Amino acid sequence: MCGFLQFPLLSCLLTERNTGLQTGTLATMMLKLYFLGFLIKSLLTIGIETQPAHGSLKPRNVQFQSRNFHNILRWQPGSFFTGNGSVYFVQYKMYGQRQWKNKTDCWGTTALFCDLTNETLDLYEPYYGRVMTARAGSYSAWSMTPRFTPWWETKLDPPAVTTVPVNGSLLVLLRAPELPYRNRKGNNTSTENYYNLVYRVFVIDKLVEKEQKAYEGTQRTVQIEGLTPRSGYCIVAEIYRPMLGRKSPRSERRCVQMP
Amino acid sequence: MASLKKSMSFSLMGILAVNCLILTALWVQEATALPVTSHCKIDESDFQRPYFINRTFMLAEEASFADNNTDVRLIGDELFQGVKMQDRCYLMKEILNFTLGEVLIPQSDRFQPHMQEVVSFLTKLSSQLSSCHISGNGQRIQKNIQTLKETVKQLGEGGEIKVIGELNLLFMFLRNSCV
């Protein structure tokens, strides 16, 4: 009998009591079980939450989502509410700082996200964000993100590719996705060097669908030579991050017919 | 008179010779001092190993989940306070060796499978710095290292978790200081 349902310890206790009394029908036993289960569950919740009364208000899944180094804090409403009528308060800090800073743009917001790009501009620095809710006069506890390092977590979009045929060769123009303005040391280095990115350009021979890497580097303009006249080629590119060995998705194919 | 002139020119010669000796000595010292400090260097190619870098960051991330002390940070700019640019690699070497010897190797049964690979990677970096020394007495450096060690000790097991959670920072600081 012991160890059935989801509350093994409880069902053991209950079984002993019931056998002692020899009276409980199955229905009342189940009812008691569920009631006690509920009690235990709430006790557990109280043990975990610091503010028992508002525990269910606390925002859930607070985390940074980073794309092209744009770092957006996102969260979900507390478990018992759909979120209607709730306002949220956002704070952030760099790991190691004692003080949390208020994000004034997201102080009392009803949105479920907050753009912290400008507050998290140092690529290699670890940051934290946290969110609190208020609803009908009561406040939740803070929900904090895991430690967030933009350089490690961001996902890059593919580069934009333009092709221009020039006297039998092909000029490929590459543009990185829009990356946040760097107000620190990066001013005299190129975006590519600052973010430690390289472009990879591939040429696909349309006739045989054979792909070849034509270029890897930080230049935004690449000339591809040695193409056969009156043949069709497609160009596709990606952004590669050498230190992490990660690549962006591929750009759209740009196809041309050589004159 | 003639003897005086002679002795004067002799002493002048002497001064010149001594000067020359001092200069030579200085030059020799500088020449020997240079290679010593230049041992504080890690080849950039050692920081272009995606496999190990990813493992290092993954391990740090995993440990950082277990570190809820967000106020205290071990590896940050304070470490370099009062430390000259050319001595920073030496400082990072000392911290790397502390991390390996006092934290990672004793904790190496935890955080598998990444731990093992990160330890071997960091050991390799450490061996590249084995003959890295500083010329001066480096009191300030020792003091900064001591502060870090004491913080780790004070935090107990949480301190060791914190060290592991900052392996990504250790790696980046090594790169910035030693390449």
Return the bridge partners of A232, or none. A257
Determine phi and psi for A166, rounding to 5 degrees.
-135, 115
Determine the average pLDDT of the residues in B147-173: 96
Would you state the pLDDT for residue A103? 98
The enclosing H or E element of A212 equals strand A210-217
- Shortest distance, CA A21 to any CA of chain B (angstroms): 47
Task: Check CB contact under 8 Å for B73 and A149.
Answer: no
Cα atoms found within 13 Å of the Cα of residue A144, Cβ hemisphere only: 16
Q: How confident is the model at residue A183 (pLDDT cuts 50, 70, 90)?
A: low
Would you state the pLDDT for residue A16? 37
Q: How confident is the model at residue A82 (pLDDT cuts 50, 70, 90)?
A: low
- Shortest distance, CA B46 to any CA of chain A (angstroms): 10
Q: Which residues have CB under 8 Å from A50's CB, separation 6+?
A: A141
CB atoms within 10 A of CB B104: 24
Tell me if B107 sits within 8 A of B114, measured CB to CB.
no
End-to-end CA distance of chain A: 83
Q: What is the Cα–Cα distance from B48 to B72, expressed in whole angstroms? A: 29
Would you state the pLDDT for residue B12? 52
Q: Considering chain A, what percentage of its residues have pLDDT values greater than 70? A: 75
pLDDT, one tens digit per residue, over A36-61 is 554 444 444 443 444 444 448 899 99
Would you state the pLDDT for residue B49? 92
Tell me if B133 sits within 8 A of B90, measured CB to CB.
yes
ipTM of the complex: 0.78
B61 in A contact zone (CB under 8 Å): yes
- Shortest distance, CA A152 to any CA of chain B (angstroms): 8
Task: Check CB contact under 8 Å for B71 and A98.
Answer: yes
3-state secondary structure of A211: strand
Q: How confident is the model at residue A189 (pLDDT cuts 50, 70, 90)?
A: confident
Strand stretches in chain B, DSSP E: none
B44 in A contact zone (CB under 8 Å): no
Would you state the pLDDT for residue A2? 39
For the ranges A173-182, B8-17, B92-101, B107-116, the maximum mean pLDDT occurs at: B92-101
pLDDT, one tens digit per residue, over A89-114 is 999 999 999 999 999 999 999 999 99
Higher pLDDT, A140 or A79: A140
Q: How confident is the model at residue B100 (pLDDT cuts 50, 70, 90)?
A: very high
Higher pLDDT, A204 or A28: A204
Determine the average pLDDT of the residues in B18-25: 50
Say yes or no to pLDDT of A162 above 70.
Answer: yes
Tell me if A107 sits within 8 A of A26, measured CB to CB.
no
Q: What is the Cα–Cα distance from B168 to B175, expressed in whole angstroms? A: 11
Q: What is the Cα–Cα distance from A208 to A211, expressed in whole angstroms? A: 9
Q: What is the Cα–Cα distance from A15 to A17, expressed in whole angstroms? A: 5
- Chain A partners of B81 at a C-beta cutoff of 8 Å? none
- Chain B partners of A144 at a C-beta cutoff of 8 Å? 70
Tell me if A222 sits within 8 A of A214, measured CB to CB.
yes
Return the bridge partners of A38, or none. none
Say yes or no to pLDDT of A78 above 60.
Answer: yes
CB atoms within 10 A of CB B116: 15
Say yes or no to pLDDT of A232 above 80.
Answer: yes
The closest alpha carbon to A57, from A128, A114, A142, A145, belongs to: A142
Task: Check CB contact under 8 Å for B50 and A242.
Answer: yes
Say yes or no to pLDDT of A32 above 60.
Answer: no
CB atoms within 10 A of CB A185: 9
**Least trusted range by pLDDT, from A21-30, A236-245, B98-107:** A21-30
Would you state the pLDDT for residue A11? 36
Determine the average pLDDT of the residues in A154-168: 95
Q: Which residues of A touch B (CB under 8 A)?
A: 93, 95-98, 124, 126, 128, 144, 146-147, 149, 152, 242-246
Determine the average pLDDT of the residues in B38-66: 92
Tell me if A221 sits within 8 A of A173, measured CB to CB.
yes
The closest alpha carbon to B177, from B125, B131, B140, belongs to: B125
Q: What is the Cα–Cα distance from A150 to A70, expressed in whole angstroms? A: 9
Q: How confident is the model at residue A28 (pLDDT cuts 50, 70, 90)?
A: low
CB atoms within 10 A of CB A78: 21
**Least trusted range by pLDDT, from A30-39, A234-243, B60-69, B142-151:** A30-39
Say yes or no to pLDDT of B7 above 70.
Answer: no
- Chain A partners of B70 at a C-beta cutoff of 8 Å? 93, 95-96, 128, 144, 147
